[in-house]
Structure 1
Amino acid sequence: MRRPPRDLDKVHRTMTRRTLLLGGLQAAFISGLAARMRYMQVDQADQFRLLAEENRINIRLIPPTRGELFDRNGRIIAENTPSYRVVIVREDAGDVEQVISNLQKLIPLDPEELERARAEMRRSPPFLPVTLADQISWEDISKVAVNAPALPGITPEVGLTRVYPQGGDFAHVVGYVGPVSDYDLSQIQDPEPVLRIPRFQIGKVGLEAKQEELLRGKAGAKRVEVNATGRVMRELDRREGQPGADLQLSVDNQLQAYVQARLGGESAAAVVIDCETGDLRAIASAPSFDPNLFVRGISIADYRSLTEDPYRPLANKAVQGTYPPGSTFKMITAMAALEAGLLGPEDTVYCPGYLEVSGRRFHCWKRGGHGHVDLENSLKQSCDVYYYDVALKVGIDKISAMAQEFGLGIRHDIPMSAVARGLTPDKDWKNRVHKQDWLIGDTANASIGQGYMLASPLQLAVMTARIATGRKVDPRLVKSIDGVEQPSGAGEPMAVNQNNLRKLRRAMYSVSNDRRGTAYGSRILTDEFRMAGKTGTSQVRNITAAERAAGVIRNEDLPWERRDHALFVCFAPFDKPKYAVSLVVEHGGGGSAAAAPIARDIILQALYDGFPPLEAYPAKDRSRVSAQQERLQRELRPAAKPEDKDRA
């Protein structure tokens, strides 16, 4: 059947439009293709001619600038400084040994570093630069630059390296960085490519390691043209990376330096915590070490001297060390009994010098006993028998739970290495770990902070701050990140009877301010800064019955490693607590003689924000303190000035 002429015209017009549309699209495509071909063949001819000659494009990483660390007042703790180094390219040097010999006539070269460079040259391609000398002076780098024509293959370079201007004052807090090792890479799942850059530095211990991702930043990249042998021909473009975050710590640089100096030659640790915010104002471990030694690789001799020192300078005793808390734990035992309703402040216990438990005598430190003592007097005179008796009524499970409520037996969340959990044992723990039943004698030992009980100086500082405030104070080390304030550690009110806490605080006040108190000799005379505290002495050896009958050997007559640990915890001012301090002197002997005077000096330094007046000390101590202050003022390094720009 034939279509009508009108339909044929309509179909013809439709086909014509489609043909024109398709033709136009084809023409546009061909025109675009022709334009692109002209651009590539004419405008970009030079670039592609070079790329065609067996060249290729590589992406090279640009190391990011590491974030810097500041104290609470903006003083620098860890910074990046220009590092001048000399590198050699083997294929450009010709006679490598002759060039190195010529270089040695100009600048000193470390033999160990030189051997490391030779080994690196043997296993690296000849066109890659190898470092011969690092962290050299500007004068030395100038000598190399002036004599460049006589040193083929030698190039002076400048980069950034980590420097710790405060030396050992912050070594245990901040830690240190070092070149990435094969071991480091094996511990990281899917390591970032930037970690494979030769001699790239990462945090090894301390805050540098715990905050590595924040401090490291993000690497940049540059696109370079290399030939078939891998030699760089030119840089095509670059994208800068993202620098690491700057961290402001809660620690006060001047107080930290004072505490470190005041600990002197002791094997000791001290923690100062702000009761209002939980900020760690000082956290020191002695003896310390210079973290700058580790940045580029410590020598064997220096490392051996640190590891063989019996005082263990590499150990962070403030957070890593755990010790029997001794009598500083007695507040916890008393609080458990008060909360259980098994003890009143006026209730007394008779102390004849010992308590018979299951056929065994548990002795008080005072051989003749203290007679009838109540809560305040038991703490003031540190009567052991009172707490043996109280603990047997309360039981270990309630004592352990109360210890955890006050921050013991807990790994506090601060970015430092090897933060210890400590130990607050109970019946289940002993059965699970030692496969033994809990004994009543274990409870007696634990009541005075001995036996299985262990705590770190950090935990004891937290415990003291919670007693002082009645709030669940948590320690805070990082105050702000790139200017953003971090959550406070002030804490919420504790779920305990505040009247019971007031009784404990009053008893601790008597320890330091009553003539019969064990810390009376280390009292503070300034009325507005009166201190409350508690001494502690923890045994590290067993005293046999024969020794006790003949007379217990004095600490000073024992070898250092067999002497008791000395402890002291305190807070001040008593009426409105501002700071809490804990102090442990390893093998220091008695807490009242060895630890209390140091802790008193530290808390006064914090309260006065500098050296306190001599009138704050008892008259008998003033001449000694005056000489001590003069010596410490000479030893303390000048504080680094805050940066002009706001780092906080």
Structure 2
Amino acid sequence: MAVLKNIQRELSRFRLRLVAAAGFVLFCFGLLVARLIYLQVMQHEALQDRAEANRITVVPIVPNRGLIKDRNGVVLASNYSAYTLEITPTKVTDLDATIEDLGKVIEIQARDKRRFKRLLEESKNFESLPIRTKLSDAEVARFTAQRFRFPGVEIKARLFRSYPFGEIGSHLLGYIGRINTAEKKAMDDWEEEDVANYRGTEYIGKLGLEQQYERELHGVTGFEQMETSAAGRAVRRLAHRPPTPGNTLNLSIDIKLQALVEQLYGERRGALVAIDPRNGEVLAFVSKPTFDPNLFVDGIDIDNWRDLNENIDKPLLNRALRGTYPPGSTFKPYMAMAALNTGKRDPHLVIQDNLTYSFGGRNFGSAEGDRAGPKDMRLAIVTSSNVYFYSLAVEMGVDLIHDQLMPFGFGRKTDIDLQGEVTGDLPSTEWKKKKFKRPEQQKWFPGETVSLGIGQGYNNFTILQLATAVSTLSTGGLRFKPRLVRDIEDVVHHEDRRVASDALDPLPLRPSDVAIIHNAMNGVTLEGTSRAVFAGAPYQSGGKTGTAQAVGLKAGQTYSSIKADERKRDHALYIAFAPLDHPTIAVALIVENAGFGGAAAAPIARRVMDYVLTGTYPSEEDIAKTQLGLTSAPIGPPRRAEDVPLPGQAASAPAAAASAASAASAPASGASR
């Protein structure tokens, strides 16, 4: 009996365990069914979308960047395709070892590694980054044969920006470069559509017109919707939208004139802006020294960056846009115009110029070579009398000077189509209060007004401001916003959209007053400080030389004591317009630390106006001597501008023969001092 009871008890326990096991299996099976129902029914659409996303890849197609052309259709910025070797860091186990092994297949220099390291620091680690750019066909073939050894490394075809004229016009063109972290962060504030347009894009305009007209030049990104296999290989294309290339910028710049001016400066520093006063179109926009924008396209290496950034001549500084200088005597015609406009001085009033002006117990002198004697307004401008304009400044006062000259564009931005323009300084009592923090510095002293009359003191302006001011003066008050881009060509619809130029309200200048100033500025070129430079010119022009102190003199210091330091010598300036009656060009320029404006700056202006008005190009001898500041009127037989090849291009045989014949038949002329 006891044995039977034990057996029954064991069977009862077994049945209980069996039921428990069956219940557990059923419970698990129920969970599985519930999960399947949840996935198949509740999550059907979401999982289907995810599966499609895994199967379908959307690949952005970067558009061709728009071209930049000069006024004659010469291409200044274009694109070309080249192969790059790129690494996706997240797909590489040992980055340093991979780069080392790659160097055994394709040449990778130390600067390539440094650039890659910098890009790696600036970019997100899942991005594809170039370790080598512009691979040759042989290098592409060598890597392709051993690609299996390098997971995460691939060859890509990329579009590269090209600036065929190198350093010429670099400050106005600017350059493009890889989008950095700060720019990516700024994109967070963009509209979603704009952000989407930059997917797949790694480059953006960094400076100059490339930056200003980025939206126009970039184009619209296209895409390919590709079906991929489980291994990630493309199977077929499901959808396609081609990219829309960027628009073309047609500039007002004449690149041959731009190149001529940069050549005339030689190794000297300075800036020049030439404007068509009839519409504000900029014909030349020069800042010297220049730089090669091609260095920045695929990431500038540290050695070139150091050379540019630490160069004492500051080649990266856009002197025409951001450099500010005292205008010196080029300020005097505007002072005279203000005196006429306000009735502060009759043009026939004669002031005795004894070469010294005393005010507040201090003597203000004149430049070496000035002649004493009685001078009216015209003669004061022609001979560049300091005493005449010292006294005029005191009579007018700083605030009246400010109010009369600001409408010419002094002390405010011109709104040219470039970013980074500075305002300069046109002083007033209110300006000084804002400029300085300490109360004792904020008060305007009467003695500070004296030097304003000759363009010194607190006066500081850009060459662009001087150019717009002389443009306004030349037309008798017509004003335009200066523009580098004439029109934008829509390459898809083949339509041109006019950009230049916005007319501003004209200044209410009396024609009789304007005629007085024009006559005086014409006298500068006929009998004044630039007469030797414009001797024999086939047109009449108006001009004014300027010689401005680069540094102020300390108490007891003489100017001769600082002449030994080249960078402390006076700046040479010149403003001009021509033809006299109906101006089609206005020019302002500076040659830093070059001394007298009539000797260093005016000769460059003469050759610019010869080019624009007569279609002539200076001789090689003339260019060489002008670079050294050793010319006045042009020397040697001039050439026809149309016969001179663009920089880097050879002259055609007919043009070369015609130039040689012209040189053989033309009479020689000596330099006029």
For residues 168 and 125 of structure 2, what CA distance do their matches in structure 1 show?
43
**Do the aligned partners of residues 465 and 179 (structure 1) sit closer, same or farther apart at CA in structure 2, a change above 3 Å counting?**
same
Q: Are the equivalent residues in 1 in contact too, given 2:115–2:301 (CA < 8 A)?
A: no
Deviation track 1:73-92 (CA, whole Å, cap 9, x = no partner) reads 11111111112223467999
Moved more, 136-145 or 620-629: 620-629
The answer as to whether partners of 1:276 and 1:490 remain within 8 angstroms in 2 is no
Of 539, 551, 555, which aligns to 1:541? 551
Report the Cα offset of residue 330 of structure 1.
0.7
Range that drifts further, 103-112 or 206-215: 103-112
Aligned AA (2:531): Y
Amino acid at match of 2:109: D
Partners of 1:524 and 1:600 within 8 A in 2: no
Query: Structure 1 residues 595 and 59, CA, compared in 2 at 3 Å: closer, same or farther?
Result: same
Q: Which residue of 2 aligns with 1:336?
A: 338
Query: Residue 572 and residue 623 in structure 1: after superposition, are their counterparts in 2 closer, same or farther (change >3 A)?
Result: closer
Cα-to-partner distance string for 1:349-378 (whole Å, 9 max, x where unaligned) = 111121111222222224875221111111
Q: Deviations over 1:304-354 (max 9, x none)?
A: 111221111000001111111111011111111111112222111111121
Distance in 2, matches of 1:365 and 1:64, equals 59
TM-score normalised by the chain length of structure 1: 0.80
Query: Residue 414 of structure 1: SS of its match in structure 2?
Result: coil
Equivalence map 1:336-355=2 (5 Å): 336-355=338-357
Paired amino acid for 1:279:
E
**Which residue does 2:468 correspond to in 1?**
462
Question: Match for residue 363 of structure 1?
Answer: 365
1:208 aligned to which of 200, 207, 210: 210
Shift of 1:143: 5.2
Report whether the alignment pairs 1:589 with 2:599: no
Does the 8 A contact of 2:451 with 2:457 survive in 1?
yes
- Alpha-carbon offset, residue 433 of structure 1: 2.7
State which of 388, 391, 399 in structure 2 corresponds to 1:389: 391
Corresponding pairs, count: 584
| Equivalent in the alignment of 2:607 | 601
Query: Could you tell me how far apart the structure 1 residues matched to 2:54 and 2:370 are?
Result: 92
Cα pair 1:254 1:639 within 8 Å, conserved: no
Cα shift at 1:487: 4.0
> Residues 122 and 328 (structure 1 numbering): CA distance in 2 closer, same or farther, change over 3 Å?
closer
Corresponding residue SS for 1:236:
strand
Query: Residue 215 of structure 2 aligns to a residue in which SS?
Result: helix
Contact 1:54-1:227 at 8 Å conserved across structures: no
**Normalised TM-score (structure 2):** 0.78
In structure 1, distance between residues paired with 2:216 and 2:92:
40
Q: What's 2:575 paired with? A: 569
Alignment deviations for residues 140-171 of structure 1 (CA, whole Å, 9 cap, x no partner): 435555x4678665654322111111111121
Task: Indicate the residue corresponding to 2:497 in structure 1.
Answer: 484
Residues 237-294 of structure 1 deviation map (CA, whole Å, 9 limit, x = unaligned): 2222332221111111111111111111011111111122211010010110000101
CA distance in 1, matches of 2:395, 2:52: 90
Q: Using the alignment, how far apart are the partners of 2:198 and 2:117 within structure 1?
A: 20
Q: Which moved more, 1:210-219 or 1:452-461?
A: 210-219
1:253 maps to which of 252, 255, 269: 255
1:510 partnered with 2:529? no
Kindly state the Cα deviation for residue 544 of structure 1 after the two structures are TM-superposed: 5.0
| Aligned equivalent of 1:498 | 511
- What is the distance in 1 between the residues matched to 2:50 and 2:557? 89
Matched, 1:438 2:472: no
Go from structure 1 to structure 2 and tell me whether the alpha carbon gap of 1:227 and 1:116 turns closer, same or farther (over 3 Å shift). farther
Match of 2:140 in 1: 141
Q: Residue 270 of structure 1 aligns to a residue in which SS? A: strand
**2:371, 2:228 → 1: CA distance?**
86
- 2: distance between equivalents of 1:531 and 1:135? 51
CA distance in 1: counterparts of 2:143 and 2:375, whole angstroms: 79
SS of structure 2 residue aligned to 1:135: strand
1:474 maps to 481
Q: Does residue 1:532 correspond to 2:545, yes or no? A: no
Decide whether the 8 Å contact of 2:380 with 2:388 is kept in 1: yes
Q: Contact conserved, 1:61 with 1:194, CA < 8 A, in 2?
A: no
* SS state at 2:287 partner: strand
Contact 2:171 2:208 survives alignment (8 Å): yes
2:571–2:593 contact (8 Å) kept in structure 1: yes
Match of 1:410 among 412, 420, 423: 412
Residue identity opposite 1:530 in structure 2: Q
Q: What does the per-residue CA deviation read over 1:454-495, in whole Å, with 9 as the maximum and x for residues that have no partner?
A: 111111111111111111133111101112222435656431
What SS is found at the alignment partner of 2:574? strand
Alignment match, 1:522: 533
The one-letter code matched in structure 1 to 2:254 is D
Task: Say if 1:180 and 1:195, in contact at 8 Å, map to a contact too.
Answer: no
Aligned to 1:133, the other structure's residue is in SS state strand
The verdict on how the C-alpha distance between 1:234 and 1:269 changes in structure 2, with shifts beyond 3 A counting, is same
Shift of the alpha carbon at 1:417?
Answer: 2.9
Partner Cα separation in structure 2 for residue 320 and residue 485 of structure 1: 27
Letter in 2 for 1:164: Y
Q: 1:622 to 1:316 in 2, by over 3 A?
A: closer
**How far apart are residue 523 of structure 1 and its match?**
1.1
**Residue 645 of structure 2 contacts residue 651 of structure 2 at CA under 8 Å; is this kept in 1?**
no
Shift of residue 595 of structure 1? 1.2
1:626 partner SS: coil
Cα deviation per residue 1:129-150 (whole Å; 9 max; x = unaligned)? Answer: 65342122345435555x4678
When structure 1 is superposed on structure 2, of 407-416 and 282-291 the one drifting more is: 407-416
Moved more, 379-388 or 390-399: 390-399
Give the 5 Å matches for 1:595-634. 595-611=601-617, 625-626=635-636
Matched, 1:285 2:282: no
2:649 to 617, 638, 644: 638
The aligned amino acid for 1:181 is: N
Q: Which residue does the alignment assign to 2:75?
A: 76
Unaligned runs of 5+ in 1: 1-47, 642-648
Q: 1:560 to 1:94 in 2, by over 3 A?
A: closer
- Give the aligned partner of residue 220 of structure 1: 222
Q: Deviations over 1:601-631 (max 9, x none)?
A: 22222223341589x999x95998439989x
**Aligned partners of 1:624, 1:487: CA distance in 2, in Å?**
33
CA distance in 1, matches of 2:426, 2:122: 54
- Map 1:236-275 onto structure 2 (within 5 A): 236-275=238-277
Indicate if the aligned counterparts of 2:65 and 2:79 stay in contact, CA closer than 8 A: yes
Contact 2:147 2:154 in 1 (8 A): no
- Which protein has greater RCO, CA pairs closer than 8 Å, 6+ apart? 1
* Compared CA separation, residues 150 and 609, structure 1 to 2 (3 A): farther
CA deviations 1:14-46 (Å, max 9, x no partner) are: xxxxxxxxxxxxxxxxxxxxxxxxxxxxxxxxx
Go from structure 1 to structure 2 and tell me whether the alpha carbon gap of 1:88 and 1:315 turns closer, same or farther (over 3 Å shift).
closer
The answer for the alignment partner of 1:425 in structure 2 is: 427
For 1:379 and 1:53, locate their aligned partners in 2 and report how far apart those are by CA, in whole Å: 80
